[in-house]
A and B are shown apart, each in its own frame.
Chain A
Amino acid sequence: DSGVTQTPKHLITATGQRVTLRCSPRSGDLSVYWYQQSLDQGLQFLIQYYNGEERAKGNILERFSAQQFPDLHSELNLSSLELGDSALYFCASSVRGMLHTGELFFGEGSRLTVL
């Protein structure tokens, strides 16, 4: 158990809908990362937050947004969903600080299926 909690574990929805994925980092970890994993693209970096502030952005679509709240939990919002958004979405947190040590602690992921 990494200590990172993601909900929901599974989600099935229709095209055009909006969903919210939630992540609770390990106790005391200030950095949260979101990744999207699909068979053809692998593990793609979406966005990173540190202590509530956006730190880095990857190839995150404009239909996607995220935020980190004062209690350090984070949410990833996916809207106007398309079939191609079906994937496993991972949240990870890193040790207490802005500088990573290479070790990201991943949750078990939220599997999104868009029909």
Chain B
Amino acid sequence: QKEVEQDPGPLSVPEGAIVSLNCTYSNSAFQYFMWYRQYSRKGPELLMYTYSSGNKEDGRFTAQVDKSSKYISLFIRDSQPSDSATYLCAMSASRDDKIIFGKGTRLHILP
């Protein structure tokens, strides 16, 4: 079993829809959770960073962590064509530990 599982998609939704992206993980030591966005032919860039369980909101983006279920989610409201990218979840057990990434979900927002 891989440490972090993420559906690769692709996921296609119409513009303006709410998008839900998810990851599951097996290592209960993970405490730091991140979502990165990667555009084609570019390196990933950080979108959201959360510690432990709970929700965090930043503009149209909301990250949720449920440590009891080992499940994290990213919600995108009012999705735009510019949100079309690959979204990678990432996790770490501590701030001086390596960051492990999921495989990424390819998202297409249809105009």
* A residues with CB within 8 A of B: 2, 4, 33, 35, 41-45, 48, 55-56, 58, 90, 92, 98-104, 106-109
Contact = CB atoms under 8 A, between A and B. Distances in A.
A107 B101 contact: no
A42 B104 contact: yes
B99 A45 contact: yes
Interface residues of B, number: 23
Contacts of A55: 96
B41 interface: yes
Contacts of B103: 41-43
Contacts, number: 61
Interface of B: 6, 32, 34, 41-46, 49, 88, 90, 92, 95-104
B101 A102 contact: no
B51 to A, nearest CB: 8
B90 to A, nearest CB: 8
A87 to B, nearest CB: 13
